């Protein structure tokens, strides 16, 4: 077994791992950095009708990215698309957390607070139409990021009120070249694959 694995450029550190591998019937895989190479890019921005003061959405996003100072792959993809420049004065910041799955920035000049995160977490009611749009994108494998706005400013780590949808941003993960063939091999050999991801089920 060690010799056969060695021919496939696989390093065996412990002999008993061969026996364990033969008993595997379910394999759990992390998506980001395992199936994908960890890089992302923005594919499209879908504007949503929103009543309120007109603003330059690209400048809002650029100012948000400047204020939040995040350096994860999602933020890097957004910075590449929108830039990173402090055009609007920042008053309050709500950093991203995995628990609330959102981040927010309160701007001056009457712009209010802009929220960015998973649509189902930031919008109190997606509505049938908006949910259908999101489902259409996720079914194509895209990750969907929601951007919304609410009046007032962040206080004590909380949003000032309900969030009105402003836009949806679609992003694409870059799949590793060898990933499809590897997953196919496991499937053909009776191993059930489970993908561990924070994305919607329809994405993975």
> Per-residue pLDDT tens for 21-58?
677 888 888 776 677 777 889 999 998 865 445 568 99
CA distances from 44 to 41, 58, 137, 145, 169 (A): 9, 13, 10, 11, 6
- Please determine, for residue 96, whether its predicted confidence score (pLDDT) is greater than 70: yes
Chain mean pLDDT for the chain: 84
Give the mean model confidence (pLDDT) for residues 87-111: 89
- Please determine, for residue 14, whether its predicted confidence score (pLDDT) is greater than 90: no
pLDDT tens by residue, 134-186: 989 988 888 899 999 998 999 988 898 889 899 999 998 878 788 888 888 88
Which residue has tokens 């489970």? 194
Residue 78 pLDDT: 95
pTM value > 0.75: no
């Amino acid at each position: 077994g060690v010799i056969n694995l060695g021919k496939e450029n696989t390093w065996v550190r412990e002999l008993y791992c061969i026996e364990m591998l033969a008993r595997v019937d379910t394999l759990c895989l992390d998506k980001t950095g395992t199936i994908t190479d960890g890089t992302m890019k923005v594919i499209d921005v879908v504007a949503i009708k929103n009543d309120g003061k007109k603003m330059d959405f690209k400048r809002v996003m650029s100012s948000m990215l400047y204020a939040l100072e995040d350096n994860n792959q999602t933020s890097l993809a957004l910075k590449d698309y929108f830039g990173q420049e402090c055009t609007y004065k920042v008053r309050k910041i709500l950093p991203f957390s995995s628990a609330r799955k959102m981040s927010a920035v309160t701007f001056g000049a009457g712009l209010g607070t802009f929220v960015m995160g998973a649509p189902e977490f930031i919008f109190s009611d997606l509505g049938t139409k908006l949910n259908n749009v999101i489902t259409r994108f996720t079914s194509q494998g895209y990750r969907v990021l929601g951007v919304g706005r609410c009046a007032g400013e962040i206080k004590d780590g909380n949003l000032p009120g309900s969030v009105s949808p402003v836009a949806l941003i679609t992003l694409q993960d870059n799949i590793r070249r060898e990933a499809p063939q590897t997953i196919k091999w496991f499937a053909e050999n009776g191993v059930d694959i489970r993908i561990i991801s924070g994305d919607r089920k329809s994405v993975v």
